[in-house]
A and B are shown apart, each in its own frame.
Chain A
Amino acid sequence: MEEEKKEIDFEIGMKQNQELKLEEEPQQQQKQVGDEHVLRFLDSVDNYLTLFESLSCTLRQGWLELVSARHSMGASRVNSSLLDLKVHSASTSLQVTPDIVDSMEEQPHFILRKWGSLYDGKCSYEDQNSKVDGLQGKSGSPLPRHRGKPQLSEEISPKQAPLMVDDQVQKKRSRSLSVFGTLVSPQLRAAQLSFETALETLVEIANMRSTMLSTFNGVHKELGVAKEIR
């Protein structure tokens, strides 16, 4: 009798444990998801701050290189009154596309197209091609907000293409510096590169901020759900 009672008690205890586990599993899953959001948020904040510091260093370097160029070439060759006021197309443009995150919310994504879409420092030539095809093929996708036409040739082999694109980028760089003269000092070219890097960093900061806000919203929602359960 006592043994039967023990068995019955044991079975009841097992069933209760199973019921408890079934109740705890969704809560644990929810906790894991919440932790993941928090970790992602903290990662994005850390990256955001790191990028800001990097931007500050790059800009400081760029400004000093500009002063160095002025020191080398003379104030009459490097000054704001030489900048071109004629109407011309933008050599660099910013494309904003909405990214769908977790099938729920839209997160803006920023893509920098330098030197008239000839060269994107983050993409390979194949990616550049596919992106251009994607932009031209899909009617519903957002159009890039820039003037000027892409100049990619379809007849160039993949191996030669990156070199030709680099050459064209160099030419475009030199052309944009030509407001200060055709024979400019290496310091002025270095300043141009520094400011170009700073622009790329700014776009990365914008993307990181977008990610940060999105993960913050996720954490906020998790906190709201946790409060409701309690």
Chain B
Amino acid sequence: MYGFEALTFNIHGGYLEAIVRGHRSGLLTAADYNNLCQCETLDDIKMHLTATEYGPYLQNEPSPLHTTTIVEKCTLKLVDEYKHMLCQATEPLSTFLEYCTYGHMIDNVVLIVTGTLHERDVQELLEKCHPLGMFDSIATLAVAQNMRELYRLVLVDTPLAPYFSECITSEDLDDMNIEIMRNTLYKAYLEDFYRFCQKLGGATAEIMSDLLAFEADRRAVNITINSIGTELTRDDRRKLYSNFGLLYPYGHEELAVCEDLDQVRGVMEKYPPYQSIFSRLSYGESQLLDKAFYEEEVKRLCLSFEQQFHYAVFFAYMRLREQEIRNLMWISECVAQNQKSRVHDSVVFIF
């Protein structure tokens, strides 16, 4: 029952909530980002990060550094923290934490399948996979020729199995089918995660509903914008939108027929939470849209920490850490390419 979590939450979740709130206080601040943005070389960035919680992961890296090394090591920190929390968690928190990684699992599956289609070496592809999305039989994905084999040989024993019912066909895997498979899987995952959070009830259901609805809406907008000018039909586009969120169902109907960014803007400005995002953009501009969405997401994720005794803090922490890694990637690339004037184009401050 909502409101009475304070009585029982700490029995099983108190320790881990304290842990995750401690991790949250280790996120980089605006002062840290200002220092990083003034760095001249990647070694300077490494020196600044050594003084943060990333220190143990970066201090032994030899020069010259590469931007992918910085991202890889920072991701390792998140993976270590996640694994610690997962092994300490009991049900239903352990299932909740696993749900947080299914998105990465889907990305890894698509990466392996796409790379195999392009005749790439499986080992090379495995090195590029996100560590949070790894599972035991992932390397076996390379032998599948179509989605039916993909499901039967590999994915039937993974948590992604239930999501395949909507996209199992015997058609050979090609670029369009893989893209549709990716988005269909992610749609099924988001809807399943949403239902799971609703079953948990309480503050978790309330806060996670808001966060997942925002994720679903953002995906709908990105799918619409990315499919403009492609061979994806309106019906196929409509099928990729999730069946929940603020835009469901009328916003989706309108987005499905949009042919340019200004039409998308016209649809989104009818919804007050998104009006502020699109009002900041000039007409025809799409580059700042990602940053605007990330800023809105960070705001909502930070707000979830204002309440106690719910699981959304774990989801929020992981997303904030991923945003921080994206910031570090952007800053590193701007420094490496000597384009520091553009460094503030995509950095989203968390605090």
A→B interface (CB under 8 Å): 60, 63-64, 67-68, 70-72, 74-77, 79, 81-86, 170, 174, 178-179, 181-187
On chain B, the residues within 8 Å of A81 by CB distance are 111, 115, 120, 124-125, 127-128
B→A interface (CB under 8 Å): 68, 71, 107-108, 110-111, 114-115, 118-120, 124-125, 127-130, 175-176, 178-179, 182-183, 222-223, 225-227, 229-232, 286-287, 290, 326, 329-330, 333-334, 337, 339, 342, 345-346
A86 to B231, CA, bound (A): 23
On chain A, the residues within 8 Å of B107 by CB distance are 74, 76-77
Which of chain A's residues has its CB closest to B128's CB?
A: A81
On chain A, the residues within 8 Å of B334 by CB distance are 64, 67
On chain A, the residues within 8 Å of B119 by CB distance are 84-86
Which of chain A's residues has its CB closest to B261's CB?
A: A186
On chain A, the residues within 8 Å of B182 by CB distance are 181
A178 to B333, CA, bound (A): 24
On chain B, the residues within 8 Å of A181 by CB distance are 110, 114, 175, 178-179, 182
On chain A, the residues within 8 Å of B345 by CB distance are 68
A182 to B183, CA, bound (A): 11
Is there an interface contact between B337 and A183, defined as CB atoms closer than 8 Å?
no
Cβ-neighbour of B337 out of A60, A71, A74, A85 (below 8 A)? A60
A181 to B286, CA, bound (A): 19
Is there an interface contact between A76 and B227, defined as CB atoms closer than 8 Å?
no
Question: A75-B71, A183-B232, A185-B226 are known contacts. Are A83 and B179 too (CB-CB below 8 A)?
Answer: no
Is there an interface contact between B115 and A67, defined as CB atoms closer than 8 Å?
no
Is there an interface contact between A64 and B130, defined as CB atoms closer than 8 Å?
no
Question: A79-B128, A81-B124, A85-B118 are known contacts. Are A182 and B287 too (CB-CB below 8 A)?
Answer: no
Cβ-neighbour of A71 out of B125, B222, B326 (below 8 A)? B326
Q: From residue A44, how far is it (CB to closest CB) to chain B in Å?
A: 30
On chain B, the residues within 8 Å of A86 by CB distance are 118-119
A179 to B178, CA, bound (A): 11
Is there an interface contact between B226 and A82, defined as CB atoms closer than 8 Å?
no
A184 to B337, CA, bound (A): 23
Is there an interface contact between A71 and B230, defined as CB atoms closer than 8 Å?
no
On chain B, the residues within 8 Å of A185 by CB distance are 222, 225-226, 290
On chain A, the residues within 8 Å of B337 by CB distance are 60, 63-64, 67
What are 15 A-B pairs at a CB distance below 8 A? A64-B334, A67-B330, A68-B345, A75-B329, A76-B128, A76-B129, A77-B107, A82-B115, A83-B120, A174-B231, A181-B114, A182-B175, A182-B230, A182-B231, A185-B222
A185 to B179, CA, bound (A): 13
On chain A, the residues within 8 Å of B230 by CB distance are 174, 182-183
A69 to B338, CA, bound (A): 18
On chain B, the residues within 8 Å of A70 by CB distance are 329
Which of chain B's residues has its CB closest to A173's CB?
A: B229
A83 to B229, CA, bound (A): 22
Q: From residue B187, how far is it (CB to closest CB) to chain A in Å?
A: 13
Is there an interface contact between A183 and B226, defined as CB atoms closer than 8 Å?
yes
A149 to B232, CA, bound (A): 28
Of the candidates A63, A72, A85, the one having the most CB atoms from chain B within 10 angstroms of its own CB is A72
Q: From residue B77, how far is it (CB to closest CB) to chain A in Å?
A: 16
Question: A84-B119, A85-B119 are known contacts. Are A182 and B179 too (CB-CB below 8 A)?
Answer: yes
A87 to B229, CA, bound (A): 27
On chain A, the residues within 8 Å of B226 by CB distance are 183-186
Q: From residue B306, how far is it (CB to closest CB) to chain A in Å?
A: 28
Question: Other than the known A68-B345, A182-B175, A182-B231, what 9 A-B pairs have Cβ atoms closer than 8 Å?
Answer: A76-B111, A77-B111, A81-B115, A81-B128, A82-B115, A85-B118, A181-B182, A185-B290, A186-B225
